[in-house]
Amino acid sequence: MDAIVYGAAERNRAHEPVNNPGIAPIAMPDQPSPTDIPGVDPEGRLALTVTAEDAGNRVDRHLGRLLAPHYSRSYLSALLDEGTLRVGGRKSRPSYRLAEGDRIEGALGIPASALPGPEDGIEYRVIHSDPAIIVIDKPSGLVIHPGAGRKGGTLVNGLLKEFPEIAVVGRAERPGIVHRLDRDTTGVMVVARTNEAAKSLVGQFKRKTVEKRYTAVVWGEMPFDSDWIDLSIDIDPRKPVLRTVVSEGGQTASTFYEVEERLGPATVVTAMPRTGRTHQIRVHLSHLGFPILLDPPYGRRITGSWNGWFERRKKAGLPVPTMSRHALHARHLTLDHPETGERVTYEAPLPMDMVELIEILRES
């Protein structure tokens, strides 16, 4: 689970209508992402250098032509007036005449055309909802919010259909989201329904007062019944989409685990991450030499032994698991309710693919 830094949505939505359930959603596959707009990164930040051809133009007119129709000229002028957009690191008037080599930088916000909209057919189960929060049981394969390479079909799109009021909660490109689960990790998640709830929840994640418990099935017999894993994590330089344990630098990461059941070739563990780094549990358990089953990015070393076990059972006519994603499930979440302050717990039962996996391993 990764805590997301909370930020007000007003600037991101200063030039766009709020999602309304009475308005037909824009077709997500046709929407541009910020990375399709010249000089704009996925977070809506502008960085461009003025060419000789564009020198002499007013900065507001130049940006208005370059960024239309995603950002209006009046909106860009307002950003220049308040200093959010700067030329050469300095606040500039909209009428400033550009010179060759001028650097224009600043936060534009996510354009309306790139923001997520409501979609039908997104499957997830609501465990609990009240005026402040929504608690869901996320299925495998569901991405949390649109991002690079994915413009729709996410949890956020489904939530906007069922709970349109979250459109103005938190960050405009991922409304209501205060933490995340990996695409193929199942289980319990909390979503903020108001900005006040978002502030409270993000604060709890930062203070590490949210209790998270995951069930994981790892390959091998773990030597200790419980232990802390305190190992820093950073981006894997060989494959930046993955993470790796590092001895210097990186982000501090701490996970406590307890063995729940020993199953011969495998072990069922409860993992309780104190921090919320990307892929933290998967990276930590893999580094110990006990990777989560069916997690190729972090479990290549066990591929041979797992495949051998699988094929032997298959040839013997014995049941084999049908599970096709990593065996990790967020089963338990305890937090302080943002409105009442009451300590509350929400749980999601193990999905059937993990139940089947554990039963077959138990038989072996």
- Residues 115-143: b if buried by 16+ CB within 10 A, e if exposed: bbbbbeebebeebeeeebbbbbbbebebb
| Closest C-alpha among 145, 136, 211 to residue 177 | 145
Q: What three-state secondary structure class fits 236?
A: coil
CA–CA separation, 18 vs 116, rounded Å? 11
Token couple for 282: 């998967």
Single-letter residue type at 79 = L
Asked if 130 contacts 111 with a C-beta cutoff of 8 angstroms, the reply is: no
Task: Say which residue the tokens 């996410």 belong to.
Answer: 154
- Coil, helix or strand for 34? helix
Q: What would you measure as the largest C-alpha separation in the chain, in angstroms?
A: 79
CA dist 162 to 30, 122, 159, 211, 327, Å? 22, 10, 5, 27, 29
Q: Provide the sign of the torsion angle of the four alpha carbons 273, 279, 284, 289, taken in this order.
A: positive
Secondary structure class of 299 (helix, strand, coil): helix
Measuring CA to CA, how many Å separate 72 from each of 30, 66, 155?
20, 10, 29
Q: Are 186 and 352 in contact (CB under 8 A)?
A: no
Out of 2, 102, 137, 182, the active site residue is 182
Per-residue DSSP letter, 63 = H
Positive or negative, the Cα torsion across 295, 299, 300, 302? negative
- Tell me if residue 102 is catalytic: no
At position 105, the amino acid (one-letter code) is: E
Listed in sequence order, the residues at least 6 apart from 216 whose beta carbon sits closer than 8 Å to its beta carbon are 268, 269, 270, 271, 281, 285, 292, 327, 328, 329
Are 72 and 80 within 8 A, CB to CB?
A: no
Catalytic machinery residues = 182
